[in-house]
Chains A and B, each alone.
Chain A
Amino acid sequence: MIYAILSVKKNPGKLDPLLAGIKGISGAGLYAVLVDKVAVAVCDINKVDLVADKSGAIEYASVIETLAQQYTLLPVRYGSVMESAGTIKKLLKRNYVEIQQNLKKVENKFEFGLKVFCDSEKLIAELKAESKETNEVEQKSGSEIQNSVFREYINKKLKEHRREEMMLSYVDSVIAELTEFLTHLNTVNKIKKMASPKNIIDAVFLLKKDKIEEMVQAIKDFQSKYPELNFILTGPWPPYNFVEFTIK
């Protein structure tokens, strides 16, 4: 079973002792398959033991996390198994350039996740109160709906559309301010807006390991500017969200 692809250009001699001290899934011993300056952390596993269960997932994630404390690595998706060390070496050689490029991209970096939640109904009400113009338009629309079911339907859709627009505009402004706020940390950002009506921002950030404390403080400070929102920051994680390639 394959856990992660590691850069061993620094401290290559420390990898074997480190792996020897970690137990993999089902207590299996870990070892490295090495090609030049890249190593793959693996453990042997019998096909009959290939059961995805809770303890397996805990052990798998723990191994990657332990290794990420010491080495720059690319986490491999859970459940990836190859037939032999020879096959792994072949794939490493074939994908060596791309692996090196990805390792460079995440070198000495960790990932943070940020989810921003809100009470969307309350927030919309507050935004509406701030927008007198919108209120007037809606009141006008409200006086026109009584004539038919069709008009009522159109008016309902219009209102929904305006709510969405208002919310999106608000979220865009928060995202713009947030990215501006984090500029000094030189983060790589991936931001998704309106993941759900309550989860208005779902973001991941890649940043240097020595900036972790600053990141936490920055989000705390930013939260205080937006008391109507709930910020949940998790991490530091290995760079799961910043590894985007398939080994073929």
Chain B
Amino acid sequence: MYDNVIDKSKDITILELLDRVLTKGVILSGDIVISVADIDLVYLGVKLMLCSVETMEQLKMGNPVPKR
């Protein structure tokens, strides 16, 4: 019943994490830095996620979550 929650949570977490790890944070510049390019990544951790009340209610009732 909660598979949708977990799947969506993973997807969102992956996007959020990639956005942060690859494009944010301190930048080291100069020729001493070797940057790793062509990155294809997946993050499997599950962080806290707050769905909308509506979505949670649908999940509680066993209904599939409508795709955005």
Measuring CB to CB, which residues of chain A are less than 8 angstroms from any residue of chain B? 2, 5, 47, 50-54, 56-58, 60-62, 65, 74-83, 87, 91, 102, 113, 117, 198, 216, 219-220, 223-224, 227, 229-237, 240-241, 243, 245-248
Interface residues in B26-43 by Cβ distance below 8 A to A read 26-30, 32-43
Is A57 touching B32 in the complex (CB atoms < 8 A)?
Answer: no
Cβ of B61 within 8 Å of any chain A Cβ, yes or no, is no
In the complex, which residues of chain A have a beta carbon less than 8 angstroms from the beta carbon of B34?
A: 47, 50, 79, 81
> Which residue of B26, B39, B47, B48 is within 8 Å of A52 (Cβ)?
B39
Interface flags for B44-63 (1: CB within 8 Å of A; 0: not) read: 11011111111100000000
Given the contacts A74-B26, A237-B20, A243-B25, A58 and B44 also touching, CB distance less than 8 Å = yes
Main secondary structure of the interface of A (DSSP, over half): mixed
The prevalent SS among residues of B at the interface is: loop
Quick one: which of A47, A65, A77, A224 has the most chain B CB within 10 A? A77
Q: Do A219 and B35 touch (CB < 8 A)? A: no
B48 and A233: CB pair below 8 A?
Answer: yes
Cα distance A219–B52 when bound, in Å? Answer: 10
Chain A contacts of B27 at CB under 8 A? 77, 80, 245-247
Chain A positions within 8 Å of B21 at CB level: 57, 60-61, 75, 77-78, 240
B53 to chain A, nearest CB (A): 6
Binding site for A on B (CB under 8 A): 12-13, 16-18, 20-30, 32-45, 47-55, 68
Q: Give chain A residues whose Cβ lies under 8 Å from the Cβ of B48.
A: 216, 233-236
| B28, B45, B47, B48 pick with most chain A CB within 10 angstroms | B28
Is B20 within 8 A of A247, CB to CB?
A: no
Closest approach, in angstroms, between the C-beta of A231 and any C-beta of chain B?
5
In the complex the two chains form, is A230's CB within 8 Å of B52's CB?
A: yes
Once the chains bind, are A240 and B25 in contact (CB under 8 Å)? yes
Query: A41 → chain B, closest Cβ, in Å?
Result: 12
Alpha-carbon gap, A230 to B13, bound state (A): 16
With the chains together, A228 CA to B43 CA distance in Å? 30
**Cβ of A39 to closest chain B Cβ, rounded Å:** 14
A232, B48: Cα distance in complex, Å: 10
Residue pair A52, B25 in contact (C-beta under 8 Å): no
CB-defined A-B contacts under 8 Å, sample of 11: A2-B28, A54-B41, A58-B41, A78-B25, A80-B35, A91-B28, A231-B51, A246-B27, A246-B29, A247-B26, A248-B29
Residues of chain A lying within 8 A (CB to CB) of residue B68:
117, 198, 230
